[in-house]
Amino acid sequence: MGGEMVPERPRTGRMSRSERRTQLVRTAFEIVRFEGANALTLVRLAERAGVSRPVVYDHFSSREGLLMALYRDYDEQIVRTVRQVSQEQARSLDELVSAFAAAYVEGVLAAGRECGEVQAALLGSPETGQFLRQSRRFYVEEFRTALEPFVSLSAEADLALLTAILGIVESLARAAAEEEFSAAHAVATATSAVVGVLRGNSRQTLPT
């Protein structure tokens, strides 16, 4: 990761706890963006944020806790975008899937390439496996809920199908974030693939 880190202007006055956490998360993302995930430690974060180590440890008790907080923030950014799809009135399954895929891709691009590094760092820690599984199930449920107007899927019986659908959208979004191809191409391909998977599922009779 190249580039030069631009220090934030010092802020006068005392921050609230939530403001301090926001500052620390933002600073942690900057460290990952410019120095890589391996450089992110609680000590480095304290130095970069200009706070004492106890302040950082009060918010994140371990490096794994910090990584999970970053990834949770990343999830929330994407879900805010994705949930807007559910508020729109898609007229067909194809429109709904296209809107969902576009929202997910947009969320991944907005979150930045450093989120892939955070995920990779989490995968390397045995302590965070349950957290990542919960994150995946969270997105699976979001997609299942978004599809409800057109497709009736069970959170349990159709878990494998929903996980596969999420995998299609996520892998294409991350490839677009790595600039392997355009976001528009990622959305079009995801839409075609997901609708094809749903229409090919023998448990469902979908509208044409």
Helices 63-87, 114-123: inter-axial angle, 10-degree rounding = 120
pLDDT of residue 87: 61
d(CA 108, CA 4): 23
Cβ atoms of 141 and 155 within 8 Å: the answer is yes
Residue 205 lies in a domain: no
Q: Are residues 76 and 52 in the same domain?
A: no
Alpha-carbon distance of 43 to 7, in angstroms, equals 17
In angstroms, the CA 44 to CA 106 distance is 30
- What pLDDT shows up at residue 5? 52
Within-domain flag for 75: yes
Q: Within this chain, do residues 96 and 180 fall inside the same structural domain, yes or no? A: yes
Q: Give the pLDDT confidence score for residue 47 in this predicted structure.
A: 95
Beta-carbon contacts of 62 under 8 Å, excluding residues fewer than 6 positions away, are 42
Long-range residue pairs from 10-15, CB within 8 A, at least 24 positions apart, any chain? 10/50
Contact 190, 168 (CB under 8 A): yes
Nearest to 179 by CA among 93, 95, 109, 87: 109
* 37 and 119 together in one domain: no
Q: What is the pLDDT of residue 10?
A: 45
The answer to whether residues 170 and 90 belong to one domain is yes
Question: Which residue, 28, 59, 90, sits at the end of a domain?
Answer: 59
Is residue 115 one of the residues assigned to a domain?
A: yes
Q: What pLDDT is stored for residue 9 in this prediction?
A: 46
Reading the chain (208 residues) residue by residue, the pLDDT tens digits are: 444 554 454 443 588 999 999 999 999 989 998 998 899 999 999 999 999 999 999 999 899 999 999 888 888 888 887 777 666 667 888 988 998 899 889 888 887 777 778 888 888 777 788 888 888 898 899 889 888 888 889 888 899 999 999 999 999 998 998 899 999 999 999 999 999 999 887 555 555 5
Query: Quick check: is 146 in a domain?
Result: yes
Provide the CATH number for the domain around residue 37: 1.10.10.60
190 and 142 assigned to the same domain: yes
Number of domains the chain is built from: 2
Range of the domain at 160: 70-199
**3-class SS of residue 77:** helix
Kindly state whether residues 21 and 107 are assigned to the same domain. Answer: no
pLDDT of residue 112: 76
My answer on whether 29 and 92 are in the same domain is no
Same domain, 81 and 129: yes
138 and 35 housed in the same domain = no
The C-alpha atoms of residue 191 and residue 67 are separated, in whole angstroms, by 31
Q: Is residue 36 part of a domain?
A: yes
Q: What is the pTM of this model?
A: 0.74
Residue 98: predicted pLDDT: 92
Residues 85 and 145 in one domain: yes
Domain assignment present for 208:
no
